[in-house]
Each structure stands twice: as structure tokens, then as C-alpha cells.
Amino acid sequence: MTDQCDKAQEFEAMHRDIAQHTRRATLPYTGQCHNCGDITGGGRRFCDADCRDDYEKRMKLKGAHANSN
Ligand SMILES: [Zn+2]
């Protein structure tokens, strides 16, 4: 029984990990910066690295907040 329990926890952790990775990788291209809403064009999802970092930082904060709830 404990064996199954361990596996379930392991699976859950792995699943969470994958979800976090894919969320970042599959941001849809909208033609606008996901951080500030400026038109980006050229298939870019952010104006520049600063906007991307800002966005990722906010997403992380959001995640931390949701987890503490
Ligand atoms: Zn931007």
C-alpha cells in the first residue's frame, strides 16, 4: 500500500512539473506582448527579454500566491 502511495505522490509531483514547463512553452502568439500588451510582430510573444522576465516573475508570484491559499 505504501508503495502505491509513494508512486501517486511521485506522479503528482512529476505532473505538476510538466504543467509548469508546458505553460511557459505554449504561450499563444497573439501579436502582442504578454507582459505589456505592445504589438510585437514577427512571432514574438514579448517585446524583449525584460518583458519576458517581468512576465515570468509575475507568473511565479501568482503561483506562489495560489499555493499559499
Ligand atoms: Zn512588452
Q: CA-CA distance, 46 to 3, in Å (whole number)?
A: 45
SS (H, E, C) the chain: CHHHHHHHHHHHHHHHHHHHHHHHHCCCCCCECCCCCCECCCCCCCCCHHHHHHHHHHHHHHHHHHHHC
Ligand 1 geometric centre to CA of 9 (Å): 38
Q: Which residue has the higher pLDDT, 2 or 61?
A: 61
pLDDT for 13-28, tens place per residue?
777 766 655 555 578 9
pLDDT of 61 above 70:
yes
What integer pLDDT is reported at residue 66 of this predicted model? Answer: 65
Ligand 1 geometric centre to CA of 67 (Å): 27
Ligand 1 geometric centre to CA of 1 (Å): 51
Ligand 1 geometric centre to CA of 45 (Å): 8
Q: How confident is the model at residue 46 (pLDDT cuts 50, 70, 90)?
A: very high
What integer pLDDT is reported at residue 32 of this predicted model? Answer: 96
Ligand 1 geometric centre to CA of 54 (Å): 9
